[in-house]
Amino acid sequence: MNDFAETTKTDVLDTWMTHRETGADGPTVVFLHGNPTNSLLWRTTVPQVADRARCLAPDLVGMGGSGKPDLAYRFEDHARHLDAWLSAVVPGGELVLVGHDWGGALAQDWAARRGDGRVRGIALIETFLRPLEWSEMTPLAHEFFSALRTPGVGEDMVLKQNLFIERNLPALIPGIAEDALDLYRAPFPDPESRRPMLQFAREFPLGGEPADVVERMAAYGRWMRRSADVPKLLMTVTPAVGLGAPEMIEWARENSSTLRVEEVGAAGHHAPEQVGPEIGRAVANWLDEIS
């Protein structure tokens, strides 16, 4: 899978986006990462799928090797750039979307807005299935996200301290190697470059805010219910907490059509760093079934 190490640059709107590509003839599978990672999140997942599909993994705008234009980095900004990238790189044909964290939200959003039959399937792990309420947060999470939303405080935490890379990733991925952390440090060398990470944290849909993000998530939730013609795979990990908590998975079972739920192993939120091959095998087997 040496070709997955290489990146391709594509002009997109006011900037560029980079992506990694490998694989064989077959369905096109697009792997979408979240915050604070990049396309290398999928480096042990994609090899399990590449013998049966064309695999593409972009860096979201402002992240990885993609450009960092002067944007607010709202959810809408990411969606517009992803739309443009997909139109340029995969202009036609069916797609299978695989998403983690904000990548899963963007995948569902794109599928819900297209409405043209291009989505052959959608696979998700540790992502936003619906908006949340503050009352659903643990006291620690409540304090954390409140701080991130506080002007000045969030900037100190993310822009100055680089908290998502230096503290959160090591805490959420016990034993993560320093060279793996370097993969995620590299795109964010200074405070200004870290603004996409901070804004993603402030886009977290809590208590009805931000209202536009909440509405888009509600809209794709409606699509997940009514799109019985689109197979869906929801992968879970143990211990199941946060976005992948049992109550969230149960909600998905009740509110998503044509849904398969599959456990992929012991991991935390950044599951592709811990059980990447298992995720890849689950996606590959599911692809065989839906082909």
Ramachandran sector of residue 65 (left: φ over 0; alpha: ψ -120 to 50; beta: rest): alpha
Which one-letter DSSP state was computed for residue 60? P
Secondary structure of residue 81 in the 3-state scheme: helix
User: What count of other Cβ atoms lies within 10 Å of the Cβ of residue 240?
Assistant: 15
21, 59, 77, 101: which one is catalytic? 101
Q: Which one of the listed residues 78, 100, 269, 270 is annotated catalytic?
A: 269
- Asked if residue 239 has a cis previous peptide bond (ω within 30° of 0), the answer is yes
Residue 190 bears catalytic tag: no
Q: Which one from 21, 109, 126, 278 is the annotated catalytic residue?
A: 126
**Residue whose pair of structure tokens reads 């391709």 in the numeric block:** 8
Nearest to 127 by CA among 35, 229, 254: 35
Task: Note whether 199 and 73 are within 8 A (CB).
Answer: yes
Q: Is 96 exposed, middle or buried (0-12, 13-18, 19+ CB in 10 A)?
A: buried
Which tokens sit at 159?
């822009």
Active site residue 101: yes
Backbone angles phi, psi at 118, to 5 degrees: -80, -20
DSSP three-state, residue 270:
coil
> Is 269 one of the catalytic residues?
yes
Catalogue the active-site residues: 101, 126, 269
